[in-house]
């Protein structure tokens, strides 16, 4: 006999036996609660027995109290016998019956009622948050779209401050974090909150966009961030400048990214996906300012080994390809080397092609520039410099 047929045959009798047992238990509870009923003749017999007992025990002239009791008994004997349940006892039994009904009720129905109440309260809170967002911000055109959500331009109503509004579907928010107060929130929000707290406490400017607000709605998470203007991601910026930049601009951008990476490292934050599309370039009279953006794949790092890759597959570090493991520091240095390679070469980087020598670092680069790029893109992670050593490289002098 096939295995599935055996399983079906075994389950059906068990379900029937369980149903019979539950029905029997319900009836037992009701029967026990009410107890055996007393007939009209039984109650009349009890009253007569009590009256006969008083008559047999009494001797001599009865006292006024005895006459009173005897009169009460005679009066009771002429009345209709009381019902099997008096008023006070009936009230009590009604309360007990209600309690028994609640006990008999299936647990899933009780839980469903509780969940409905909770859901209603949560839905009201979400509606309130959406109303607050719509009152506080105006959303404009689409800036970009990816696998984890969409980003729109917008501004804050009170002062017209330019903002970026990230929409993440609820089903994509699968990583949660509990803060020190036990409050649960999306991990991306928790990381950006920590970065916001670093502003002003760290040396130098924090090269990441600041979190302004976030709203947890039923169908999506909204993250509102500052939006430097005019700005564009580094990939678009390279396209507008012929596919690559001169050495001086490359040096300015990479130094800012290394400083930002050190600040993240000090805060135990691992970005995991540093690439051209996740670097924002702001142009101003003071020069170029680079910002790290999109912390959707980021997490808190405490020096542990990672065995699950998340990021851009074409830019994977060699150690993950060969050993299926990687660490935050060496991987971040590798990713910064990839960014520098694409800034200086009019071509897209690919780890597999680089390891097979189909992509090579240009020998026409200045010596120090060639050296720092070669060190960042070492195949073995232990041969790469640390972020601090990278910042102290002669190329930045």
What residues contact residue 97 under an 8 Å CB cut-off, 6+ apart? 30, 33
Going by the DSSP 8-state scheme, the letter that residue 225 receives in this structure is: E
Is the CB of residue 381 less than 8 Å from the CB of residue 330?
yes
- Alpha helix (H) ranges present in 36-163? 40-57, 64-78, 87-104, 107-136
Which DSSP string do the residues of 263-292 spell out, in sequence order?
HHHHTTEE----SGGGEEEEEETTEEEEEE
Q: How far apart are CA 44 and CA 5, in angstroms?
A: 63
302 closest CA partner among 333, 339, 268: 268
The kind and range of the H/E element at 9 are helix 3-34
Specify whether 273 is catalytic. Answer: yes
Looking at 273, 346, 350, 371, which residue is catalytic?
273
Cα distances from 124 to residues 137, 173, 187, 324, in angstroms, run 20, 21, 24, 45
Bridge-based pairing of strands 220-226 and 299-300 is unpaired
Q: Which residues are catalytic?
A: 273
């Amino acid at each position: 006999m096939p295995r599935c047929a055996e399983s079906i045959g075994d389950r059906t009798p068990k379900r029937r036996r369980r149903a019979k047992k539950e029905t029997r238990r319900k009836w037992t509870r009701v029967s026990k609660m009410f107890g055996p009923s007393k007939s009209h003749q039984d109650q009349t017999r009890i009253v007569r027995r009590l009256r006969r007992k008083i008559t047999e025990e009494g001797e001599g002239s009865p006292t006024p109290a005895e006459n009173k009791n005897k009169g009460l008994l005679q009066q009771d004997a002429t009345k209709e016998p009381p019902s099997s349940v008096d008023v006070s006892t009936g009230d009590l039994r009604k309360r007990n019956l209600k309690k028994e009904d609640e006990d008999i009720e299936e647990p899933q129905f009780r839980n469903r009622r509780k969940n409905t109440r909770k859901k209603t309260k949560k839905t009201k809170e979400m509606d309130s948050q959406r109303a607050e967002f719509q009152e506080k911000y105006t959303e404009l055109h689409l800036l970009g779209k990816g696998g984890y959500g969409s980003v729109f331009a917008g501004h804050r109503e009170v002062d017209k401050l330019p903002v970026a509004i990230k929409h993440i579907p609820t089903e994509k928010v699968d990583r949660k974090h509990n803060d020190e107060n036990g409050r649960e929130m999306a991990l991306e929000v928790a990381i950006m909150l920590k970065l916001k707290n670093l502003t002003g406490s760290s040396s130098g400017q924090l090269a990441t966009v600041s979190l302004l607000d976030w709203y947890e709605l039923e169908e999506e998470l909204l993250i509102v961030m500052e939006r430097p203007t005019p700005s564009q991601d580094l990939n678009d910026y390279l396209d507008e400048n012929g596919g690559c930049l001169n050495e001086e601009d490359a040096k300015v951008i990479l130094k800012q990214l290394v400083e930002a990476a050190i600040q993240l490292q000090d805060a135990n934050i691992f970005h995991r996906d540093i690439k051209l599309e996740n670097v924002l370039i702001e142009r101003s009279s003071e020069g170029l300012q680079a910002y790290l953006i999109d912390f959707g794949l980021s997490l808190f790092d405490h020096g542990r080994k990672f065995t699950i890759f998340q990021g851009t597959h074409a830019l994977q570090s060699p150690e993950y390809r060969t050993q299926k493991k990687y660490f935050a520091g060496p991987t971040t240095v590798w990713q910064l080397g990839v960014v520098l390679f694409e800034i200086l070469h009019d071509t897209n980087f690919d780890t597999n092609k680089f390891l097979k020598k189909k992509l090579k670092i240009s020998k026409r680069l200045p010596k120090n520039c060639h050296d720092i790029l070669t060190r960042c893109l070492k195949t073995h992670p232990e041969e790469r410099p640390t972020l601090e050593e990278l910042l102290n490289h002669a190329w930045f002098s």
